[in-house]
Structures are given as structure tokens and as C-alpha cells.
Chain A
Amino acid sequence: MKCKRFEKRILDFIDGKIEEKEKIKLEEHISKCGKCKKLYDDFLFIINNSKKIEHPILDENFWKAKLNLVIEKRRYHIYRFKPAYLGISFFILIFILPLLFKIHVIPKKYTPIELADFSYELLFSEDEIVKCIDYIDENDAEKIIKFILIENN
């Protein structure tokens, strides 16, 4: 076996995830090759000593307390204000409300005859009629004014 082959298989050899036949060959190789034996020993040294690096061990009670915080936080996330809500509110304000508003504020359109009658019967003042005229065609408005003038005279 060549050293290159050993280097390729060294990680699986360390893990012990290697076929028995190949394992024997690798063991034979390191018994003869000092360089590969050193590489194997050094890798094992690093791995084994790395595992000795300390880390805190936290018991189950610690995590149980933390678990409740996650559940609480999740609840908060569900009900908290989200930017999407703001967008929807703006949409309603800008597009939906004006539509509703228009439906209610646009006065009923009267026919020229009706307007003339109102004027004649003095039901509406001239100003009110002029306001109504704003909502009808120019031609119709002229006709109405003429009609009102004739009637008043």
C-alpha cells in the first residue's frame, strides 16, 4: 500500500468504518511506515484532546424553563403587530373607504325639469341648485339656467 492510499483512507480508519480486509492492510502499512504512523497518531491526539475541551452541561430543568420562554415568545409572535397589517390598513383607507364615501356623499342627480320645478316652488335656494348643477353635464346646466330664468321672469 502506498502512503497516498493510506492518507485517503485515514479518516475512515480512525472512525473504524472500514472493511476488515482493508483495515488489516492499513494496519500493516502503519507498522512499516513511520510517516503514516505519525500522521495517524497526531490525528488521534488532536481528536482525543479536542474532546477534552470543557463545556458546560446544563440539566433538564434549565431547558424546561427556557422551553416555556420559547412557547411564550411564539405566542407573542402570533399576536404582535406585523408590517403586513399596516399595508392592509393603508389599502382599506386609500381604496375601500373612498369608494364607500363616494356612494354616500354624491347627491342624487336630478333631471333639468325637476331642478326647474324646485326652483319655481322655491324649495331650494339658487346656491343649492348651483351646487347640484356641478354634478351634471355643462349642456344640461345651461338648459336649466335658461329654463329657470324664463320661469322666474
Chain B
Amino acid sequence: MKEREDFKSCYIKYANKIYRVAYKMLNNHEDAVDVVQEVFLRAYKNWNNFKGLSKMSTYLYRIAVNLSYDYFRRKSKEKKIENLNYENLASLSFKNDFDTKFRNERIINEIKEEIDKLTEKQKTVFILKTYEELTYEEIAKILRKRVGTIKATYYQTLQKIRDNLKKKGVIKNEM
């Protein structure tokens, strides 16, 4: 019983965070929810083995990232990458207010487009760092890479987005 209660509190605590990462990776609400469910199902199966081995969030993020890769690859193969279905999300509230959304619409859309073009590795690092605001050390643990590698990847990612935004005229070239 205690195991189930611990699991429940863990689920409520982390479900939204895992969903956010999966959603940013996949750009699809249904797939992101599926990833969350699968992440926690796996975590529940290994609940007793897991305890004390590493930080819970690191473990959950790691499964979420790997599952998102799988989903993304599967979808890419099927060539059915869907965009966000606004109709299905009609009942959901959004982060930003109406005005900000339209004022920055173009810039945000361009950046979103550039993020979608990133490689899996770059995208993961960018999402975990920018949206989840994890430290480089935490990301390194999740992806099992060195801190230096993660920093370098993040820097390259920002440079890549910057270069592409310059080409599109979203960011001005240096004088």
C-alpha cells in the first residue's frame, strides 16, 4: 500500500513536467500523454529496484527522452507527423496571454520551426535547458554524457538557431 501511495505522489508531482518535455519533443498532445503514461508504467514496474539509485526526476526524464525518441522515429517513418490539434485542446488553457501571443507570433513561430529542425540530441538538450531549466549537470546525468559535452551541444544549438534566424531576417546581422 505504501508503495502505491509513494507512486501516486510521485506521479502527481512529475506528470506535468514529463508531459512538458514530451510535448516539446513531439509537438503532439496525445503522444505526449502516451509518453507520460508509459514512463510511469515503467517506473511503477521497477519501483522497488529504483529506490535510492538516483534522483527520481533524472530517472523519469531519461525514460521520457528515450520514449520520445522512439515515438518521433516511429512517426517519422510513418510520415504522419501531426501538428498540434487545437480543436482537441480547446478545453486547455495556454501559458501566454492573448496579446503577447499575437505580438510575437512570427518570431515564436520561426524559432519553433528552427527547434523542430534540430537533431534529436540538440533538441533534447535545448528543451531540458531552456524549458525545464535544468542544470548542465542534471542534463548530463539524464543523457549520460559529460557536462562539457552538454554545454558544447547547447552552445552549438543556440548558434545554429541564431544562424538560421539571421538567414530568415528574424535576427539582424552584425553591423
Contacts and interface: CB of A to CB of B under 8 A. Distances in A.
A45 B171 contact: yes
A11 B171 contact: no
Given A60-B12, A67-B11, A38 B151 contact: no
Nearest to B33: A66
Nearest to A55: B23
Q: At the interface, is chain B mostly helix, strand, loop or mixed?
A: helix
Given A53-B112, A55-B24, A67-B11, A47 B93 contact: no
A131 B174 CA distance: 104
A139 interface: no
B108 A49 contact: yes
Contact of A70 (B24, B44, B111, B171): B44
Contacts, number: 100
B92 A58 contact: yes
B16 A70 contact: no
Contact of A56 (B7, B89, B111, B112): B89
Given A67-B8, A70-B41, A70-B44, A52 B100 contact: yes
Q: At the interface, is chain A mostly helix, strand, loop or mixed?
A: helix
A5 interface: no
Interface in B1-26: 4, 7-8, 11-12, 15-16, 19-20, 23-24
Interface of B: 4, 7-8, 11-12, 15-16, 19-20, 23-24, 29, 33, 36-37, 40-41, 44-45, 89, 92-96, 100-101, 104, 107-108, 111-112, 115, 126, 130-131, 136, 151, 154-155, 158, 161-162, 165, 171, 174-175
Interface of A: 7, 10-11, 34-35, 38-39, 42-43, 45-47, 49-58, 60, 63-64, 66-67, 69-71, 73-74, 77
Which 9 residue pairs across A and B have the least CB separation, nearest first? Answer: A56-B92, A63-B15, A54-B94, A67-B11, A42-B162, A70-B40, A74-B44, A50-B130, A43-B158
